[in-house]
Chains A and B, each alone.
Chain A
Amino acid sequence: MGELLILNGSPRAPRSHSRRLADLAAGCWKGNTVCRDILGADLNGLCAETGRASHVLLVFPLYADALPVPLLKFLTALEESPPQSRPVVSVLINCGFLEPHQNDVAVEMVRLFCRQNGYPLGSALKIGSGEAILDTPFRFLVSRQVRRLVRSMSRGACRTFSVTMPLTRRQFVSASTAYWLRYGRSRGVTKSQMETMDIEPDGP
């Protein structure tokens, strides 16, 4: 089992769900693991580290249906400073909406990067309801899929897994409404304030 480099592409890396997912994955890998946040990192240093790993796991949130900017910048840097040896690249993505398939395009973007730049494709895990699931009783479903992802990576397989809360869309709408109301309340903001239809009401 070679070295696994886990790269967290979240724009809020230190307090991200991606960080917690990265920790879960690191706990399942039998060999050495190194975890890095892309945010604020020296990208050239990360490119060099990428060349030393046998596997890379990109852990990130879906942003505007695609890769978040820190990850996009890192992949661009990697294309500009390619390491001599190319690790297998796997993906662990989470999105806010219920449906894991909303992550499909972003996973394909990483795969396209790999094909364009000669990186072997690894496995992928797509998580729906990622903003909340780790703090619900459904967390075990995520842990189970992360274990399957890591097992698949260590076998060198190219498989895709997905997981979300086992709720209907309507149940998810009410659960997420309660989630955001609690979030607002903790910052002293009411439902009607959060529901404002105004954008930059006082002008920029």
Chain B
Amino acid sequence: MENMTLIVSDRSLKTGLPDCGDTVLIDLTKQGIRNCMGCFGCWTKTPGRCVIRDDAVRIYPLIARSRRLLYVTRVRYGGYDVPMKTLLERCIPVQQPFIRIVDGETHHVQRTVVPKEAVILAYGTRDAEERALFRRLTARNARNMNFAAWRVVFCDETAVESQLRKELAAWENS
């Protein structure tokens, strides 16, 4: 799947997705993902492989391979809420421990991670300050997660599915 679009959602979608070729949907409510325990086993013991063998080990290779990535997440304190954050912390096997300089800052060398176009569909923010902070967070993530381009779309919790459809349609037509 060279042109894979991956959707990772922290809420179950009530209706199916429109039928679009190489699209994979991960519903985080149906995954068992434990917390990263900061052991660095994925760098220094079994490089490229997390030592915790749960559902996360199926998902981070998909994130690495995707060309288009869409995260659906609740926002908490200007960041991802627990389910998405738990997954993101478990994704460090996609990086090497070794450090390089990127845009004048130190960052890890990536393993085979396709540069991607990312959309983060974020709901549950309380005010403009929280939205601004979440945007700052995604700008930092872009450097560590190989986002070639990214966009944050804020929406109301009730509008998540319709907004998701709009984003997918925009990708289909681009």
Residues of B close to A113: CB separation below 8 A: 77
The residue in chain A whose Cβ has the minimal distance to the Cβ of B135 is A105
Binds B, one of A41-49, A137-145, A150-158, A173-181: A173-181
Judge whether A196 and B144 touch: CB under 8 Å.
no
A136 adjacent to chain B (CB < 8 Å): no
A24 adjacent to chain B (CB < 8 Å): no
The residue in chain B whose Cβ has the minimal distance to the Cβ of A73 is B82
A69 adjacent to chain B (CB < 8 Å): yes
Known: A11-B36, A61-B38. A200 touches B78 (CB 8 A): no
| CB under 8 Å from chain B, chain A span 70-108 | 70, 72-73, 75-76, 97-99, 102, 104-105, 108
The residue in chain B whose Cβ has the minimal distance to the Cβ of A16 is B38
How many pairs of residues, A versus B, come closer than 8 Å at their CB atoms?
A: 160
Q: Which of B48, B106, B137 has the most CB of A within 10 A?
A: B106
Q: Mark B12-38, 1 if CB is under 8 A from A, else 0.
A: 000000000000000000000001111
Known: A69-B35, A69-B36. A76 touches B111 (CB 8 A): no
**How far, in whole Å, are A102 and B129 apart by their CA atoms in the complex?**
19
Number of B residues, CB within 8 Å of A: 56
A29 adjacent to chain B (CB < 8 Å): no
Judge whether B106 and A10 touch: CB under 8 Å.
no
Judge whether A173 and B100 touch: CB under 8 Å.
yes
A194 adjacent to chain B (CB < 8 Å): yes
**How far, in whole Å, are A82 and B71 apart by their CA atoms in the complex?**
30
Residues of B close to A112: CB separation below 8 A: 77-78, 129-130, 133
Q: Mark B88-108, 1 if CB is under 8 A from A, else 0.
A: 110111101111110011110
14 A-B pairs whose Cβ atoms sit less than 8 Å apart in the complex: A66-B137, A69-B35, A73-B82, A97-B99, A108-B133, A109-B133, A169-B105, A172-B99, A180-B43, A180-B44, A183-B97, A184-B97, A195-B98, A201-B49
